Structure 1
């Protein structure tokens, strides 16, 4: 696995796509859900056996998890894609920062000022919330400063075809609703060769920042990735408060998300896994819900990379012992 400082990304052609293969995961319910949630994993590939194995192994990886999860995966060299509940909306938390970055690069044509470059680097590499808020406001209509309307970010989403993403128009960017499909579309954009939305300079810059993410935030959709690939990652997490105004479904749960792309040395893939209802067992430390979400993502990630790259040695990410929890009064400032 390589974490480099300067990168170039090129699209790798995919082969013909076989028909979809589907595998149903057993019903999985969050503890307070009266009705179980049934997920269906669907995979297509130029290699039908690979598609079948991926669908079965992803379903098995999800079957033991009590939280809710959605995913979208693509691999250009094998012409493979997999999804599970990929249109379901989740609080984006800090994966929203990749959307902000894409919008900034789109609006600026890839040429940032020194100040914008510094903010973008802080936002992605260090997951700095203040930097994200500053750029969100820069890309917003500020007629009502208390409710910045992110119109320029919406322009980017429209151009990128990310029609399922719903921006939070009251400034809580971490509560922007994202889907696994739309975030995977963003990874395709960053790793592709299409200049119609972002030019090559913008795409390389986005990947460079995601490649330089600080070491303790490289967990999640990187787990099991081949060590000879160049990896680009962005994670996000958010614990909802126990306040009465929060829906009982969300109270106290952890939203944990991860997205990663593999490039260079023949690699060309992207994986997004979004989770919620990672509950904290009664009387246990709060970080156990956060850990559970990460474990869900990494269980899925390892299963995928093991199937697609069976001969590769996989990456084992580290992570801090406890997360940085956002202030209860400002849920948009999620890490």
Structure 2
């Protein structure tokens, strides 16, 4: 298991403050959106500026000419490299919101000074490792909107909005908010304690093989991979295809959140995400061999996180 470096809130705040206009973590998405076009791409690092520029140049090629809509946010903690593309874009979360729901479950148990029950553990495992919708709905109803919203508030996911109609898969979110959540899972803090973070990271590492597409593509065989995906077709904006990934070893850790829509098919969305992911992995960890695992393209069936006919 990778050793994730503890980082204080003060240190994070300082790093973020210096990166508000570079897209690392947008604390105020509205202000940045007003100043930047939606297709603005920037990678930045005071620590490793040459690496950041190389990554930006390569990512520009990955997004050039793309017909669908994409946003991504990533952060390499060791080199303090942050990239953001697509500020201000909101997407239906699809099944990626299951990560938020299980994080809210763990936070609730913490506040109640208890561990998860055997039933809760089973439901959380099903929701993350198999993307089970029935298990997620049980947890959603058990927690209630207020506890899920409490998790969003605690993490600082200010641009994320729960669906007024109660469909958890139609939670509206941004790539940078999803990066905030991934950072919360990989650093010491008061939102989730070490035990809760380890629990959720372990579930992400045990996602079934058929759902390990997207951000893991091109990752080094020498680092641990954690992933949670979402895929949902709707009447408007076509396929939403998203992938959240956490990658690390005892030397480094980095996180990637990629959200897409307007894809003509699930496969095309996966291909677009993996084009970005391979560039990120190949640039950040070039000295290690990439995994040679064929992409497990799933059937062209949505993840069931929301009804197709709602729009």
Alignment: residue pair count: 286
Q: Hey, what does 1:298 align to over in structure 2?
A: 274
1:319 maps to 2:296: yes
Greater fraction of residues in helix: 2
Q: Choose the corresponding residue for 2:200, options 203, 206, 216.
A: 206
Aligned-pair CA distance for 1:70: 0.2
Aligned-pair CA distance for 1:306: 1.1
TM-score, length basis structure 1: 0.79
User: Which one has a bigger Cα radius of gyration?
Assistant: 1
Aligned-pair CA distance for 1:264: 2.6
Q: Hey, what does 1:168 align to over in structure 2?
A: 163
Q: Choose the corresponding residue for 2:148, options 146, 153, 173.
A: 153
Contact 1:211-1:232 at 8 Å conserved across structures: yes
Shift >3 Å, 4+ stretches: 12-23, 326-329
Contact 2:72-2:176 at 8 Å conserved across structures: yes
Q: Hey, what does 2:253 align to over in structure 1?
A: 268
Q: Hey, what does 1:122 align to over in structure 2?
A: 126
Aligned-pair CA distance for 1:40: 1.6
Q: Hey, what does 1:136 align to over in structure 2?
A: 140
- Determine the C-alpha separation between the residues in 2 that align with 1:205 and 1:332: 35
Aligned-pair CA distance for 1:87: 3.4
Gaps spanning 5+ residues in structure 1: where? Answer: 1-6, 24-36, 141-149, 242-248, 280-288
Q: Hey, what does 1:147 align to over in structure 2?
A: none
1:131-187 Cα deviation digits (max 9, x unpaired):
1111011111xxxxxxxxx11100111111111110113221111011101110111
1:23-60 Cα deviation digits (max 9, x unpaired):
9xxxxxxxxxxxxx861211112111111111111111
- Determine the C-alpha separation between the residues in 1 that align with 2:203 and 2:306: 29
- Determine the C-alpha separation between the residues in 1 that align with 2:79 and 2:309: 38
**Is the alpha carbon distance of 1:20 and 1:166 closer, same or farther for their aligned partners in structure 2, counting shifts above 3 Å?**
closer
Aligned-pair CA distance for 1:237: 0.4
Contact 2:126-2:132 at 8 Å conserved across structures: yes
**Is the alpha carbon distance of 1:315 and 1:83 closer, same or farther for their aligned partners in structure 2, counting shifts above 3 Å?**
same
Aligned-pair CA distance for 1:8: 6.5
Q: CA RMSD in A?
A: 2.7
Q: Choose the corresponding residue for 1:111, options 100, 109, 115.
A: 115
Q: Hey, what does 1:39 align to over in structure 2?
A: 39
Aligned-pair CA distance for 1:263: 2.4
- Determine the C-alpha separation between the residues in 1 that align with 2:195 and 2:123: 18
1:238 maps to 2:232: yes
1:10 maps to 2:4: yes
Q: Hey, what does 1:66 align to over in structure 2?
A: 67
